Amino acid sequence: MRRLRFLTHRHRAPSTNRALGLLLAFNAGAVNAGGFLVLHMYTSHMTGFASQFADGLVLGNTKLLLNALGAILAFVSGAAVCAILVNWARQHRLRSVYAVPLLLEAALMFPFGLMGAITLTWSTPFAVPLTVLLLSFIMGLQNAVGSKTSGGSVRTTHMTGNITDVGMELGKLIYWNRHATPARAMVRHDRRRMRMAGGLIGMFVLGGIVGALGFNYIGFVCVVPLAALLLAISVPPLTRDIPRSRTLQKLLAAAGVKARVRQKQGGSASSSPES
């Protein structure tokens, strides 16, 4: 449990980045695979959507164009929101800098898991159901978390870069260094980089298997345990920041005041005589 608390801490270590990256890759694989079964599209695949956008322009297919534009804008918005939340947490000297965007991701995944089927019927200006935009936003938010925690070296929602890394390190591994080659000029593979990229790919695939099975047999509710996992790594460190942060205390106090006002309004409305 103590290790989970440091996954979202502002002070990073390679082991912390690796553990958080593996966990988020599993989550992304599950959401992405489940989204494909429901929507027949991979909501984190921005390369595909960028190509689809170009195809829509050339072919004059408005639906293709709007589909791609909506998904890209949602993904970009998720990444932008993550940057805003992380920088806000840094400026307010929170230790759990990366807990806030993960808490938001969990908050979005919970209602999606409980009533995701309803969002399939909600249309948007982009000719896709709200589900597509929601999942793309979540993937953009999560990918930005992995990128900011590791300085851009950990990618959790798409595997192109990780598979490329594995290929390059394999090439270095099998490269034949001549005996006359000086030691400093020898080609050597980076074992740590290969292990990290391979681990991310493995967790993404494992998450995809779990997500596909979950959506296939029990439906949207399979997202709820994934959201609970994100809560487990975001809520405890954030609660430890509350006693140290006046900003969080003020936010909680303001939320408490609003809740009490609503309760009073509800009570007065229920006690008033019928007209």
User: Higher pLDDT residue, 84 or 255?
Assistant: 84
Confidence (pTM): 0.82
User: Residue 188 corresponds to which tokens in the numbers above?
Assistant: 């050597």
CA 129 – CA 74 distance, rounded (Å): 13
Residue 70, number of CB atoms within 10 A of its CB: 20
pLDDT in tens, 34-74: 888 887 888 888 888 999 999 999 999 999 999 999 999 99
Give the model's pLDDT for residue 180: 67
CA 90 – CA 133 distance, rounded (Å): 28
Give the model's pLDDT for residue 261: 42
**Which band of pLDDT confidence, cut at 50, 70 and 90, is reported for residue 262?**
low
**HEC profile for 91-144?**
HCCCCCCCHHHHHHHHHHHHHHHHHHHHHCCCECCCCCEHHHHHHHHHHHHHHH
User: Residue 263 corresponds to which tokens in the numbers above?
Assistant: 């309760």
CA 157 – CA 226 distance, rounded (Å): 15
Question: CA gyration radius for the chain?
Answer: 22
User: Which are the contacts of 218, defined by CB distance < 8 A and separation ≥ 6?
Assistant: none
In the three-class reduction of DSSP (H, G, I as helix; E, B as strand; rest coil), residue 199 is classed as: helix
Q: Mean pLDDT across the chain, nearest whole number? A: 82
pLDDT in tens, 160-174: 888 998 998 889 888
Give the model's pLDDT for residue 275: 34
Residues 253, 18 contacting (CB under 8 angstroms):
no
Q: Domains of the chain: which residue ranges?
A: 11-257
**Which band of pLDDT confidence, cut at 50, 70 and 90, is reported for residue 183?**
low
- 44 half-sphere exposure, CB direction, 13 A CA radius: 26
Residues of the chain above pLDDT 70, percent: 87
Decide if pLDDT at 77 tops 80. yes
Q: What is the mean pLDDT of residues 102-110?
A: 90
